[in-house]
Amino acid sequence: MIPDTGGGPGMGGRLLAMARTGRVRRLLAESPATRELANRYVAGESIDMLIHTVGDRLSKGLAVSIDPLRVPDPTPAGVAASGAVYLEVLRCLDEHHLSAGVDLLVKIDALGLAEDGPHPVSGMQDLRRICRTADNCGCTVTIDVVPKGDMDRIFSVVQELRMDHPSVGVTVPAMLRRTESDCRELAAQGMRVRLCRGSWRDTAEKSFNKSHEVDLSFVRCLNTLMSSLAHPVVTSHDPRMVEITLDLARRAARPADSYEFQMLLGVRPLEQRRLADIGCIMRTQLPFGPGWYDYFLRRVAMRPSGVMDHLRSLLSPR
Protein backbone atom coordinates (compact mmCIF):
# COMPACT_ATOMS: atom_id res chain seq x y z
CA MET A 1 0.00 0.00 0.00
CA ILE A 2 1.32 3.44 -0.89
CA PRO A 3 0.49 5.81 1.96
CA ASP A 4 0.88 9.04 0.06
CA THR A 5 -2.33 10.47 -1.39
CA GLY A 6 -1.29 13.34 -3.56
CA GLY A 7 1.50 15.22 -5.22
CA GLY A 8 3.63 15.56 -2.10
CA PRO A 9 6.70 13.56 -1.08
CA GLY A 10 6.63 9.77 -1.19
CA MET A 11 6.27 7.16 -3.91
CA GLY A 12 2.59 8.01 -4.48
CA GLY A 13 3.38 11.66 -5.07
CA ARG A 14 6.25 10.80 -7.42
CA LEU A 15 4.05 8.43 -9.42
CA LEU A 16 1.35 11.07 -9.81
CA ALA A 17 3.94 13.67 -10.86
CA MET A 18 5.30 11.24 -13.46
CA ALA A 19 1.76 10.50 -14.67
CA ARG A 20 1.40 14.16 -15.64
CA THR A 21 4.54 14.29 -17.80
CA GLY A 22 4.35 14.06 -21.59
CA ARG A 23 5.52 10.54 -22.49
CA VAL A 24 4.10 8.86 -19.39
CA ARG A 25 0.88 10.82 -19.77
CA ARG A 26 0.45 9.44 -23.30
CA LEU A 27 1.24 5.90 -22.14
CA LEU A 28 -1.31 5.99 -19.35
CA ALA A 29 -4.01 7.89 -21.23
CA GLU A 30 -3.89 5.38 -24.09
CA SER A 31 -3.84 2.33 -21.81
CA PRO A 32 -7.07 0.28 -21.96
CA ALA A 33 -6.61 -0.50 -18.26
CA THR A 34 -6.50 3.22 -17.41
CA ARG A 35 -9.60 3.83 -19.49
CA GLU A 36 -11.40 1.00 -17.72
CA LEU A 37 -10.55 2.46 -14.31
CA ALA A 38 -11.40 6.00 -15.41
CA ASN A 39 -14.84 4.85 -16.56
CA ARG A 40 -15.74 4.39 -12.90
CA TYR A 41 -15.38 8.12 -12.35
CA VAL A 42 -15.88 9.72 -15.78
CA ALA A 43 -18.95 9.51 -18.01
CA GLY A 44 -16.86 9.28 -21.15
CA GLU A 45 -14.86 11.61 -23.34
CA SER A 46 -17.59 12.31 -25.90
CA ILE A 47 -21.17 13.56 -25.67
CA ASP A 48 -22.41 10.25 -27.10
CA MET A 49 -20.82 8.41 -24.18
CA LEU A 50 -22.27 10.96 -21.77
CA ILE A 51 -25.78 10.47 -23.18
CA HIS A 52 -25.51 6.72 -22.60
CA THR A 53 -24.50 7.27 -18.95
CA VAL A 54 -27.26 9.83 -18.39
CA GLY A 55 -29.84 7.37 -19.69
CA ASP A 56 -28.49 4.65 -17.43
CA ARG A 57 -28.61 6.88 -14.31
CA LEU A 58 -32.11 8.13 -15.02
CA SER A 59 -33.40 4.61 -15.63
CA LYS A 60 -32.25 3.73 -12.11
CA GLY A 61 -34.16 6.57 -10.50
CA LEU A 62 -31.17 8.83 -10.01
CA ALA A 63 -31.05 12.47 -11.04
CA VAL A 64 -27.92 13.77 -12.78
CA SER A 65 -25.71 16.81 -12.86
CA ILE A 66 -23.40 17.17 -15.86
CA ASP A 67 -19.90 18.57 -15.41
CA PRO A 68 -18.05 19.22 -18.70
CA LEU A 69 -14.30 18.91 -18.14
CA ARG A 70 -12.49 21.64 -20.05
CA VAL A 71 -9.27 23.56 -19.55
CA PRO A 72 -10.11 27.29 -19.35
CA ASP A 73 -8.91 29.18 -22.42
CA PRO A 74 -9.48 32.95 -22.10
CA THR A 75 -8.99 33.60 -25.81
CA PRO A 76 -12.09 34.46 -27.87
CA ALA A 77 -11.81 31.10 -29.63
CA GLY A 78 -11.52 29.25 -26.32
CA VAL A 79 -14.53 31.04 -24.82
CA ALA A 80 -16.58 30.30 -27.92
CA ALA A 81 -15.56 26.61 -27.87
CA SER A 82 -16.54 26.25 -24.20
CA GLY A 83 -19.91 27.88 -24.78
CA ALA A 84 -20.53 25.59 -27.74
CA VAL A 85 -19.89 22.48 -25.61
CA TYR A 86 -22.48 23.48 -23.01
CA LEU A 87 -25.04 24.21 -25.72
CA GLU A 88 -24.32 20.94 -27.54
CA VAL A 89 -24.83 18.98 -24.31
CA LEU A 90 -28.25 20.58 -23.83
CA ARG A 91 -29.19 20.01 -27.47
CA CYS A 92 -28.28 16.31 -27.32
CA LEU A 93 -30.10 15.78 -24.03
CA ASP A 94 -33.24 17.33 -25.51
CA GLU A 95 -32.90 15.34 -28.73
CA HIS A 96 -32.77 12.08 -26.73
CA HIS A 97 -35.63 13.16 -24.42
CA LEU A 98 -33.35 13.07 -21.39
CA SER A 99 -33.21 16.76 -20.49
CA ALA A 100 -36.03 17.11 -17.95
CA GLY A 101 -34.63 17.69 -14.47
CA VAL A 102 -30.98 17.51 -15.51
CA ASP A 103 -28.63 20.09 -13.97
CA LEU A 104 -25.71 21.55 -15.91
CA LEU A 105 -22.66 22.73 -13.97
CA VAL A 106 -21.16 25.77 -15.67
CA LYS A 107 -17.72 27.10 -14.79
CA ILE A 108 -17.63 30.80 -15.59
CA ASP A 109 -13.84 30.77 -15.98
CA ALA A 110 -14.39 28.64 -19.08
CA LEU A 111 -16.39 31.56 -20.47
CA GLY A 112 -13.83 34.17 -19.47
CA LEU A 113 -15.99 35.58 -16.66
CA ALA A 114 -14.21 34.52 -13.46
CA GLU A 115 -12.29 37.72 -12.77
CA ASP A 116 -13.77 41.08 -11.91
CA GLY A 117 -13.29 43.95 -14.33
CA PRO A 118 -13.45 43.84 -18.15
CA HIS A 119 -14.52 40.48 -19.52
CA PRO A 120 -15.48 39.08 -22.93
CA VAL A 121 -18.94 40.29 -23.93
CA SER A 122 -19.31 37.03 -25.83
CA GLY A 123 -18.85 35.09 -22.58
CA MET A 124 -21.89 36.67 -20.93
CA GLN A 125 -23.86 36.33 -24.14
CA ASP A 126 -23.01 32.62 -24.26
CA LEU A 127 -23.96 32.21 -20.60
CA ARG A 128 -27.36 33.80 -21.22
CA ARG A 129 -27.84 31.58 -24.26
CA ILE A 130 -26.99 28.52 -22.17
CA CYS A 131 -29.56 29.53 -19.54
CA ARG A 132 -32.27 30.16 -22.15
CA THR A 133 -31.61 26.82 -23.80
CA ALA A 134 -31.68 25.05 -20.44
CA ASP A 135 -35.00 26.70 -19.52
CA ASN A 136 -36.51 25.65 -22.84
CA CYS A 137 -35.55 21.98 -22.44
CA GLY A 138 -36.36 21.61 -18.75
CA CYS A 139 -32.81 21.68 -17.40
CA THR A 140 -31.35 23.84 -14.66
CA VAL A 141 -27.99 25.62 -14.59
CA THR A 142 -25.72 25.84 -11.57
CA ILE A 143 -22.76 28.18 -11.63
CA ASP A 144 -19.84 26.22 -10.25
CA VAL A 145 -17.21 27.53 -7.87
CA VAL A 146 -13.83 28.52 -9.31
CA PRO A 147 -10.77 27.58 -7.21
CA LYS A 148 -9.41 30.75 -5.60
CA GLY A 149 -11.85 32.70 -7.71
CA ASP A 150 -13.55 35.97 -6.84
CA MET A 151 -16.78 34.94 -5.09
CA ASP A 152 -18.17 38.46 -5.34
CA ARG A 153 -17.70 38.24 -9.10
CA ILE A 154 -19.46 34.86 -9.19
CA PHE A 155 -22.40 36.17 -7.17
CA SER A 156 -22.62 39.24 -9.41
CA VAL A 157 -22.89 37.03 -12.50
CA VAL A 158 -25.50 34.83 -10.81
CA GLN A 159 -27.66 37.76 -9.69
CA GLU A 160 -27.57 39.19 -13.21
CA LEU A 161 -28.65 35.85 -14.66
CA ARG A 162 -31.43 35.37 -12.12
CA MET A 163 -33.25 38.47 -13.30
CA ASP A 164 -34.31 36.46 -16.38
CA HIS A 165 -33.59 32.92 -15.18
CA PRO A 166 -34.64 32.58 -11.52
CA SER A 167 -33.87 28.86 -11.40
CA VAL A 168 -30.12 29.44 -11.76
CA GLY A 169 -28.20 28.09 -8.76
CA VAL A 170 -24.75 28.72 -7.37
CA THR A 171 -22.05 26.65 -5.69
CA VAL A 172 -20.54 27.81 -2.39
CA PRO A 173 -17.50 26.24 -0.65
CA ALA A 174 -17.74 25.67 3.10
CA MET A 175 -13.97 26.07 3.43
CA LEU A 176 -14.24 29.84 2.93
CA ARG A 177 -14.82 31.84 6.10
CA ARG A 178 -17.27 34.12 4.31
CA THR A 179 -19.57 31.31 3.15
CA GLU A 180 -21.75 31.15 6.27
CA SER A 181 -22.65 34.80 5.75
CA ASP A 182 -23.12 34.21 2.02
CA CYS A 183 -25.50 31.33 2.77
CA ARG A 184 -27.66 33.59 4.92
CA GLU A 185 -27.97 36.09 2.07
CA LEU A 186 -28.64 33.44 -0.56
CA ALA A 187 -31.14 31.65 1.68
CA ALA A 188 -33.08 34.87 2.15
CA GLN A 189 -33.56 34.93 -1.63
CA GLY A 190 -34.82 31.34 -1.69
CA MET A 191 -32.04 30.32 -4.08
CA ARG A 192 -30.86 26.89 -5.08
CA VAL A 193 -27.51 26.64 -3.30
CA ARG A 194 -25.02 23.85 -3.97
CA LEU A 195 -22.92 23.46 -0.83
CA CYS A 196 -19.52 21.77 -1.19
CA ARG A 197 -16.43 21.57 0.99
CA GLY A 198 -13.96 23.18 -1.42
CA SER A 199 -10.72 21.44 -2.30
CA TRP A 200 -8.01 24.08 -2.58
CA ARG A 201 -5.88 25.93 -0.07
CA ASP A 202 -6.10 29.65 0.53
CA THR A 203 -4.71 32.13 3.02
CA ALA A 204 -5.69 31.56 6.65
CA GLU A 205 -7.61 34.84 6.64
CA LYS A 206 -9.91 33.66 3.86
CA SER A 207 -10.40 29.97 4.53
CA PHE A 208 -10.48 27.20 7.09
CA ASN A 209 -7.54 24.92 6.39
CA LYS A 210 -8.16 22.27 9.04
CA SER A 211 -10.56 19.50 8.12
CA HIS A 212 -12.63 19.68 11.30
CA GLU A 213 -13.04 23.45 10.86
CA VAL A 214 -14.37 22.92 7.34
CA ASP A 215 -16.75 20.23 8.66
CA LEU A 216 -18.11 22.63 11.28
CA SER A 217 -18.52 25.37 8.68
CA PHE A 218 -20.32 22.91 6.39
CA VAL A 219 -22.81 22.03 9.14
CA ARG A 220 -23.43 25.67 10.04
CA CYS A 221 -24.05 26.54 6.39
CA LEU A 222 -26.25 23.49 5.95
CA ASN A 223 -28.32 24.42 9.00
CA THR A 224 -28.83 27.93 7.62
CA LEU A 225 -29.98 26.59 4.25
CA MET A 226 -32.22 23.83 5.62
CA SER A 227 -34.04 26.23 7.95
CA SER A 228 -34.88 28.63 5.11
CA LEU A 229 -36.77 28.69 1.81
CA ALA A 230 -33.58 27.91 -0.09
CA HIS A 231 -33.18 24.68 -2.06
CA PRO A 232 -29.99 23.10 -0.66
CA VAL A 233 -27.91 20.76 -2.81
CA VAL A 234 -25.70 18.85 -0.39
CA THR A 235 -22.50 17.85 -2.17
CA SER A 236 -20.83 15.41 0.21
CA HIS A 237 -19.83 11.76 0.42
CA ASP A 238 -19.34 11.94 4.19
CA PRO A 239 -21.80 9.60 5.98
CA ARG A 240 -22.00 12.08 8.87
CA MET A 241 -23.08 14.91 6.59
CA VAL A 242 -25.68 12.69 4.94
CA GLU A 243 -27.22 11.81 8.30
CA ILE A 244 -27.08 15.42 9.52
CA THR A 245 -28.87 16.49 6.34
CA LEU A 246 -31.60 13.90 6.81
CA ASP A 247 -32.00 14.90 10.46
CA LEU A 248 -32.25 18.62 9.65
CA ALA A 249 -34.79 17.85 6.93
CA ARG A 250 -36.94 15.90 9.41
CA ARG A 251 -36.74 18.65 12.00
CA ALA A 252 -37.71 21.30 9.46
CA ALA A 253 -40.44 19.05 8.01
CA ARG A 254 -39.00 19.67 4.56
CA PRO A 255 -40.64 17.89 1.60
CA ALA A 256 -38.38 15.39 -0.13
CA ASP A 257 -38.25 17.53 -3.27
CA SER A 258 -37.09 20.68 -1.43
CA TYR A 259 -33.46 19.58 -1.10
CA GLU A 260 -31.13 17.07 -2.69
CA PHE A 261 -27.91 15.15 -2.39
CA GLN A 262 -25.14 15.13 -4.95
CA MET A 263 -22.29 12.64 -5.20
CA LEU A 264 -19.69 11.92 -7.84
CA LEU A 265 -19.97 9.11 -10.35
CA GLY A 266 -18.20 6.06 -8.97
CA VAL A 267 -18.20 7.19 -5.35
CA ARG A 268 -20.45 5.40 -2.82
CA PRO A 269 -22.78 3.94 -5.47
CA LEU A 270 -24.69 1.83 -2.93
CA GLU A 271 -25.34 4.88 -0.79
CA GLN A 272 -26.56 6.78 -3.83
CA ARG A 273 -28.98 3.94 -4.51
CA ARG A 274 -30.12 3.87 -0.87
CA LEU A 275 -30.88 7.59 -0.78
CA ALA A 276 -32.87 7.36 -4.01
CA ASP A 277 -34.77 4.35 -2.64
CA ILE A 278 -35.87 6.23 0.51
CA GLY A 279 -37.32 9.01 -1.64
CA CYS A 280 -34.52 11.59 -1.66
CA ILE A 281 -33.39 13.42 -4.77
CA MET A 282 -30.01 11.79 -5.33
CA ARG A 283 -28.09 13.51 -8.10
CA THR A 284 -25.03 11.82 -9.59
CA GLN A 285 -22.43 14.28 -10.83
CA LEU A 286 -21.20 13.16 -14.27
CA PRO A 287 -17.83 14.57 -15.32
CA PHE A 288 -17.11 14.05 -19.00
CA GLY A 289 -15.01 15.41 -21.82
CA PRO A 290 -11.44 15.71 -23.08
CA GLY A 291 -10.21 16.77 -19.63
CA TRP A 292 -10.98 13.28 -18.26
CA TYR A 293 -7.34 12.29 -17.68
CA ASP A 294 -6.47 15.17 -15.33
CA TYR A 295 -9.75 14.62 -13.50
CA PHE A 296 -8.92 10.92 -13.16
CA LEU A 297 -5.53 11.76 -11.64
CA ARG A 298 -7.21 14.03 -9.11
CA ARG A 299 -9.49 11.13 -8.15
CA VAL A 300 -6.40 8.92 -7.82
CA ALA A 301 -4.84 11.46 -5.46
CA MET A 302 -7.99 11.49 -3.32
CA ARG A 303 -8.67 7.72 -3.38
CA PRO A 304 -5.33 6.04 -4.14
CA SER A 305 -6.06 2.51 -2.91
CA GLY A 306 -5.81 0.02 -5.76
CA VAL A 307 -5.40 2.67 -8.45
CA MET A 308 -1.84 3.38 -7.30
CA ASP A 309 -0.99 -0.26 -7.93
CA HIS A 310 -2.16 0.23 -11.50
CA LEU A 311 -0.01 3.32 -11.97
CA ARG A 312 3.01 1.58 -10.41
CA SER A 313 2.65 -1.45 -12.65
CA LEU A 314 2.46 0.64 -15.83
CA LEU A 315 5.40 2.84 -14.85
CA SER A 316 7.59 -0.01 -13.61
CA PRO A 317 10.55 -0.87 -15.88
CA ARG A 318 9.97 -4.58 -15.16
Task: Provide the pLDDT for residue 145.
Answer: 87
- The answer to whether 172 and 187 have CB atoms below 8 angstroms apart is no
Q: Tell me the one-letter amino acid at 216.
A: L
Identify the weakest region by mean pLDDT among 26-30, 50-54, 185-189, 191-195.
26-30
Q: Tens of pLDDT along 193-242?
A: 999 998 766 655 689 989 999 999 999 999 999 999 999 999 999 999 99
Calculate the alpha carbon distances from 218 to 233, 302, 310 in Å: 12, 19, 34
More confident: 258 or 32? 258
- Residue 304 CA: distances (Å) to CA of 26, 28, 67, 281, 309: 20, 16, 22, 29, 9
How far is 217 from 204, CA to CA, in rounded Å? 14
At residue 304 the predicted structure's pLDDT band, cuts being 50, 70 and 90, is very low
How many Cβ atoms from other residues are within 10 Å of residue 306's Cβ? 10
d(CA 93, CA 90): 5
In which region does residue 148 sit, left (phi positive, over 0), alpha (psi from -120 to 50) or beta (all else)?
left
133 or 4, which is more confident: 133
Q: Is pLDDT above 70 for 31?
A: no
**pLDDT of 44:** 86
What's the 3-state SS for the chain? CCCCCCCCCCHHHHHHHHHCCHHHHHHHHCCHHHHHHHCCCCCCCCHHHHHHHHHHHHHCCCEEEEEECCCCCCCHHHHHHHHHHHHHHHHHHHHCCCCCCCEEEECHHHHCCCCCCCCCHHHHHHHHHHHHHHHHHCCEEEECCCCCCCHHHHHHHHHHHHCCCCCCEEEEECCECCHHHHHHHHHHCCCEEEEECCCCCCCCCCECCCHHHHHHHHHHHHHHHHCCCCEEEEECCCHHHHHHHHHHHHHCCCCHHHCEEEEECCCCHHHHHHHHHCCCEEEEEEEECCCHHHHHHHHHHHCCCCHHHHHHHHHCCC
Res 23 pLDDT > 80? no
Instruction: Please determine, for residue 36, whether its predicted confidence score (pLDDT) is greater than 70.
Output: no
CB count in 10 Å sphere of residue 81:
13
pTM for the model: 0.85
pLDDT of residue 295: 77
* Residues 20, 318, 312, 12, CA torsion sign: negative
Distance between alpha carbon 94 and the CA centroid of its chain, in Å?
Answer: 22
Q: Which amino acid is at 136?
A: N
pLDDT reported for residue 77 = 86
In this prediction, residue 79 carries a pLDDT of: 86
Q: Residue 291 above 80 pLDDT?
A: no
Q: Which residue has the higher pLDDT, 292 or 109?
A: 109
Residue 71's nearest CA partner among 284, 301, 264, 295 is 295
Which pLDDT does position 32 carry in this prediction?
65
User: Which has the higher per-residue pLDDT, 291 or 208?
Assistant: 208
In this prediction, residue 299 carries a pLDDT of 66
pLDDT over 90 (residue 137): yes
End-to-end CA gap in the chain = 19
Q: What is the mean pLDDT of the chain?
A: 85
Q: Residues of the chain with pLDDT > 70: what percent? A: 78
At 5, is the pLDDT very low, low, confident or very high (cuts 50, 70, 90)? very low
**pLDDT above 90 for 269:** yes
Task: Among 1-15, 56-70, 75-89, name the most confident range.
Answer: 56-70
| Lowest mean per-residue pLDDT among 225-229, 260-264, 298-302 | 298-302
